[in-house]
Amino acid sequence: MKTPIHVLHVLGGVGLGGAESRIMDLYRQMDREQIQFDFLVHDSAVKNGFRDAGQTGDAATQQGKNNEYVRKPQFYDEEIQSMGGHIYVLPKFKVYNYFSYRKAVKAFFAAHREFRVVQGHMTSTAGIYLPIAKKAGIPVTVAHARNAGVVKGLKGLATRFFRRGLAKKADYCFACSALAGQDVFGEEAMNAGRVKIIHNAVDVDRFSYNEKARQEMRAQLGISDELVLGHVGRFEYQKNHPYLLDVFAAVCRERPDARLLLLGDGEDRAAMEEKSRQLGVADRVHFLGNRGDVARFYQAMDIFLLPSFFEGLPGVLVEAQAAGLRCLVSDTVTGEAKATDLVTYLSIGEPPARWAKEILKQADYDRRDTAQEMRAAGFDVQTQAEGYCRFYLGEI
């Protein structure tokens, strides 16, 4: 039997993040007799060098005793390994460990030359690991821009610094939107046609609206005719949860029956739980954590909210439209994400009451199946996977 080519995806982790979910959607579509995905992630448990996250038994226990490697399994670990993929781990990049990080990357690619393609979704350090991969003999390197902004403070400044000249350090530059491409690779690379825009796509059939599934999910949540707003995203600065909760509190003043479903986790979750109590809406907010069955929760929602400070091309907005949901979105989010007429853009500079007014205005509508619209707009992963296969195999 022919040995499949191996594609290495470089990420921060393989938890329930947007980039991770989109890559897993692609992975499920691959003919794994031809193409196999592997993953290189980052973890603070690794001190120097790299580790195989699939290692178990006595060797892994001994590493734990030596305080070198005790990595907590992440959401997609089991599925990746069940499909034959390997997960390798580098130390987290902290700036001050620049030289030891480079050393670990060099050691990894010296030991692993089996990849035909290395695709770096972690662009903050792609300028380090992609040139090293190329020098080690990897035929194709790709830098893939997944976001159109950085966090505030020193971390954001460091990201900007290490991204400098990235377009010249990779064989190919991909971006989920023109906005992300501009932000990560710069105007010169965009104008020169060096950046290929590949919109985030989803498994449309998995998210398509289903009335029976809607009623079942709402019953499980103890909801009948209430107005249900929803959001999916990590609890961090980018997603702007404080504003989202202010909007919801404004809605509740007009619709006391309103409910808010928040899916995701993160460092700011506890603060948002406290804020919901301060606003007097805690009994109407469902903090649901990370869920692998997110498609079922879209069915239960009436309006999807995304008041982010910045995004690349948010996969959750694609998912929400695939589920036939009306969506109210920050005008900082690229218009390329609007695949249907269900999306309305609003400014997060407006008072929360302005968003609340629009929510109430749009709350009554006929939900529809948008599968064909999403496919026609190019947001179906099955079609997108065909193009990726041809690229990985060297046909284009």
Cα–Cα distance for residue pair 289/272, rounded to 1 Å: 13
Mean pLDDT of the 282-309 span: 97
The pLDDT confidence band at residue 150, using thresholds 50, 70 and 90, is: confident
**Mean pLDDT taken over the chain:** 93
The CATH number of the domain where 16 resides is what? 3.40.50.2000
Mean pLDDT of 356-368: 97
Asked if residue 125 and residue 68 are part of one domain, the reply reads yes
Residues 264 and 162 in one domain: no
Q: Phi/psi zone of residue 95: left (φ > 0), alpha (ψ -120 to 50 degrees), beta? A: left
Residue 94 is predicted with a pLDDT of 93
pTM of the model: 0.89
Give the pLDDT of residue 59: 35
CA distance 296 to 217: 7
Q: pLDDT class for 49, splitting at 50, 70, 90?
A: confident
* pLDDT value for 20: 95
Contact 141, 173 (CB under 8 A): no
Q: How do residues 379-395 score in pLDDT, each as one tens digit?
A: 999 999 999 999 999 98
Residues 90 and 147 in one domain: yes
269 and 190 assigned to the same domain: no
Per residue in 240-281, pLDDT (tens digit) is 999 999 999 999 999 999 999 999 999 999 999 999 999 999
Clarify whether residues 358 and 210 are in a common domain.
yes
Same domain, 255 and 360: yes
* 19 and 120 fall within a common domain: yes
Number of domains into which the chain is organized: 2
The answer on 276 and 179 residing in a single domain is no
Q: What is the pLDDT of residues 213-229, one digit of tens each?
A: 999 999 999 999 999 99
Q: What pLDDT is attached to residue 68?
A: 56
Same domain? 138 vs 272: no
Between residues 396 and 10, the one the model is more confident about: 10
Domain encompassing residue 263: 204-376
Mean pLDDT of 129-157: 93
What is the pLDDT confidence band of residue 311, given thresholds at 50, 70 and 90?
A: very high
Task: Give the CA dihedral 236, 238, 241, 243, nearest 10 degrees.
Answer: 150
Could you tell me if 321 and 218 lie in one domain? yes
According to the model, what pLDDT value does residue 41 have?
A: 97
Q: What percent of the chain has pLDDT over 70?
A: 96
pLDDT of residue 47: 82
Q: Identify whether residues 34 and 130 lie together within a single domain.
A: yes
Query: Is the pLDDT reported for residue 308 higher than 90?
Result: yes
Maximum Cα–Cα distance across the chain: 65
pLDDT digits (tens, 9 = 90+) for 60-119: 433 554 555 678 999 999 999 999 999 999 999 999 999 999 999 999 999 999 999 999
Please indicate, yes or no, whether residues 315 and 273 belong to a single structural domain of this protein. Answer: yes
